[in-house]
A = this chain, B = another copy of it.
Amino acid sequence: MTEFGFIDHIAALCGDLPLNSFEGIGDDCAAIEIGGGESLLFTADLVCEDVHFLRSASSAFDVGYKSLAVNLSDVAAMGARPVATLLSVSLPKDATEEWAEEFMRGYHALSKRYGVALVGGDTTRSASRITINVTAIGRMATSKIKRRSAAREGDVIFAGDVLGASGGGLNDILRGHPDTRLADLHRRPEPQIEEGLWLAEREEVHAMMDISDGLASDIRHIMEQSHVGAELDLGRIPVAEGVDLKTAATGGEDYKLLFTADPDRAKELMRDFENHFHRPIHPVGRITRGDKLRWMRNGEAVELDWHGFTHY
C-alpha cells in the first residue's frame, strides 16, 4: 500500500470519530483552542533508519537535530511558536551508547536554540534499526493561524528561501559524495521558525505550509485545501547554489515555507521581509481559478510531469 493510500484508508475509517474541539486534518498541524485567544498545535513525524537516514552517511548528532527540525518546521508552517516536544526513540543492540548520547546532543542543541521544552516520550529496544518519533506542540494566537485552505485566486505564491539544497545533498550522498556542502544541508536543514512567526503577523499572508516533499508536490496540498489552481513560473523558482531547476522544483526535505499573499500587498511584504531578515522571499507563481497546476516559462504554459521526491 502506498503512504497516501493508507492515509486515505485511515481518513475514511476514522471519519465517524468525534473531533473533541480539534481541527486541522489537511494542515501541517492539528489545533485546539485554549483560553485567552490562543491555540495549541500538534504534529508528529517518524524518522526511520535506512528510509530517512543512513547511519553511515549521517552523524548521530545530525539525526537528532533533523528529527526535531522537521517537526519544528511543521509548527512554523502555521505560524506558531514551538513550545514542547515528546520524543520516542527505539534503539537496536548495534546502536551504541555513544550514538544515543550524540543523538540527544543534536536534539538538545536545536531545542535549546528555539527554547523548546522536552516534556515526555518513550525509549525502548528495537529488534533492528533505529526509529524515532517526535511530536511537537506549538502555541499561537488563534486568529493568526495560517492554513493551507486560505489561498485565494490571484494570490502571489512565495517560497520562503531558495530550494533544492536538500535534494541536491541527497543526490550527492546517493552518488557516494557525503562530504559536500549540499549533503550537510540535507543532514541539517534549517526550518524557518522565526520567519513563520513573522509571517503569521501579516494579514496579507493567506495560506502557508512547509515544503517537505518538494514544491511540485506540496503546492497541490494548498490547491486541494483551497479549491484553487496554480501557475508556477519556471523562470522564478529560486534555485539553491549547485543544484538544477528540476531538483529545486521537486526535491524534498528543504523545510522552507511556501505561502500565498494578497497581490496588492506582495511588494510591501517582500520589502519588509528583506528589511527584517536580510534575505528575500521569492515569488514563484500565482493562485488561479480551477484545480490545475500549470508550469509557465516566459508567460507560456509548458508540459511537465514533475512530482515530489522519494526517500532512500
Instruction: Name the residue on B nearest A31 (C-beta).
Output: B119
B-contacting residues, A41-82, CB 8 Å: 42-46, 48-52
Q: Which residues of B contact A139 (CB under 8 A)?
A: 20
Given contacts A104-B10, A131-B46, contact A120 B3 (CB under 8 A): no
Most buried by B among A34, A44, A97: A44
Tell which of A84-92, A165-173, A242-250 binds the partner: A84-92
Cross-interface CB contact of A129 among B87, B124, B126, cutoff 8 Å: B126
A50 to chain B, nearest CB (A): 4
A9 within 8 A of partner (CB):
yes
Contact between chains at A83 and B48 (CB < 8 Å): no
Q: Which residues of B contact A119 (CB under 8 A)?
A: 19, 22, 24-25, 30, 42
What bracket does the count of chain A residues touching chain B fall in? 35 or more
A304 within 8 A of partner (CB):
no
Contact between chains at B83 and A46 (CB < 8 Å): no
Q: How far is the CA of A30 from the CA of B119 in the complex (A)?
A: 6
Contact between chains at B13 and A105 (CB < 8 Å): yes
Given contacts A20-B84, A24-B119, A90-B131, contact A9 B104 (CB under 8 A): yes
Q: Which residues of B contact A116 (CB under 8 A)?
A: 17-18, 20
A176 within 8 A of partner (CB):
no
Most buried by B among A6, A36, A97: A6
A177 within 8 A of partner (CB):
no
Q: How far is the CA of A96 from the CA of B9 in the complex (A)?
A: 14
Contact between chains at A86 and B128 (CB < 8 Å): no
A236 within 8 A of partner (CB):
no
Given contacts A10-B118, A13-B104, A104-B13, contact A42 B86 (CB under 8 A): yes
B-contacting residues, A139-153, CB 8 Å: 139
Tell which of A107-115, A198-206, A256-264 binds the partner: A107-115
A274 within 8 A of partner (CB):
no
A133 within 8 A of partner (CB):
yes
Given contacts A20-B83, A42-B120, A51-B127, contact A101 B137 (CB under 8 A): no
* 13 new A-B contacts at CB < 8 Å, known A7-B123, A17-B108: A1-B97, A1-B100, A10-B87, A10-B123, A13-B105, A14-B111, A20-B115, A22-B119, A25-B120, A34-B35, A48-B126, A88-B133, A126-B131
